[in-house]
Amino acid sequence: MILDEIIARTKVDLERKKKEFPLEWLGRSLAYNPFPPRDVHKVLKSTKENPYRIIAEIKKASPSKGVIREDFDPLTIAKAYEEGGADALSILTEPHYFKGDIEYLTQIRRYVPMPLLRKDFIIDKYQLVEALVYGADFVLLIAKALTRKQLKELLEYTWHLGMEALVEIHDKKDLIKAIFAGANIIGINHRNLETFEMDMSLSERLIPLIPNSKIIVAESGIYEHEQVKHLHDVGADAFLVGEHFMRQDDIASALKKLKGETV
Ligand SMILES: O=P(O)(O)OC[C@@H](O)[C@@H](O)c1c[nH]c2ccccc12
């Protein structure tokens, strides 16, 4: 199972990092944290003026597609996303399967003003402190990768650090976990992380079960404005889009088009 494999690899990396750079050291640098986390609720909640909130993803590769973008410069991509009007950015930091790098967070945070999501397989508080130190405003927590207790603990520690979390779900069981943990932002991933199968109707089936107060993010497999419109009609506030943008020459125009603007 690919999710288990990625998590096993993440654990190995984590043990190594904890030895090389213990949490106490990492925590110490926070006394001078130059990157205080910013509020993401306002940015992600759909409004009449700006109904389609876009979280634009920076991702070089994925386990299902291999390398998606050869000519990969995270800063150039971040600028194009800013120009296109992205509301937030999702930065893959997982190094082996997605060819990400935690340093991208800091580099991008210094370069563009949008809030940043650390997109990784978070299973330990250490990674949350790391996210904060490197400049993330919010983090991904995958319900399927965590027990109820772990999810709740990691979510509460995320808030303790002043950040927010996008809690990702793929079925009713995950949704119950997310609600139980108290998630404010719920992401519905149309892609099954264990089989890579896509189910674009998942949002319309799960959204009616989610309390109104939550911010809802539709994730994966989004490439055209019609989909965004439909997902917004069924209740999504924001849209997480990666591969479609990564395959464009003119990323800024693609983003505007996805929002339904004429370019
Ligand atoms: O590239 P896409 O199909 O637009 O999907 C983006 C994003 O949803 C996807 O990268 C993603 C969603 N959840 C994840 C969890 C881990 C890694 C990646 C993901």
CATH number at residue 232: 3.20.20.70
130, 125, 123, 174: which is closest to 7 by C-alpha?
123
Q: Look at residue 30 in the predicted model and tell me its pLDDT.
A: 84
Q: Look at residue 32 in the predicted model and tell me its pLDDT.
A: 86
Give 82-114 pLDDT, tens digit per residue. 999 999 999 999 999 999 999 999 999 999 999
Atom in ligand 1 nearest the alpha carbon of residue 222: 4
**Closest CA to ligand 1's atom 7:** 220
As a whole number of angstroms, the distance between CA 44 and CA 23 comes to 31
Q: Look at residue 44 in the predicted model and tell me its pLDDT.
A: 98
**Residue-number span of the structural domain to which 66 is assigned:** 2-259
The residues annotated as belonging to the active site are: 57, 59, 119, 168, 189, 219-220
Give pTM, 2 decimals. 0.98
Instruction: Spell out the residues 6+ positions from residue 60 whose beta carbon is closer than 8 angstroms to its own.
Output: 67, 68, 69, 72, 92, 98, 99, 100, 246
Tokens 């990666």 appear where?
242
Q: Look at residue 186 in the predicted model and tell me its pLDDT.
A: 99
**Closest CA to ligand 1's atom 11:** 220
Give 237-247 pLDDT, tens digit per residue. 999 999 999 99
Q: DSSP letters along 158-208, please?
A: HHHTT-EEEEEESSHHHHHHHHHHT-SEEEEESB-TTT--B-TTHHHHHGG
Give 1-23 pLDDT, tens digit per residue. 899 999 999 999 999 999 999 99
> Could you give the angle at which helices 251-259 and 225-233 cross, rounded to 10 degrees?
40
Best mutation site among 119, 141, 203 for ligand 1, i.e. most ligand atoms within 8 A of its Cβ?
119
Domain count, the chain: 1
What residues of the chain score a pLDDT lower than 50? none
3 secondary structure, DSSP code: H
The alpha carbons of the chain give a radius of gyration, in whole angstroms, of 17
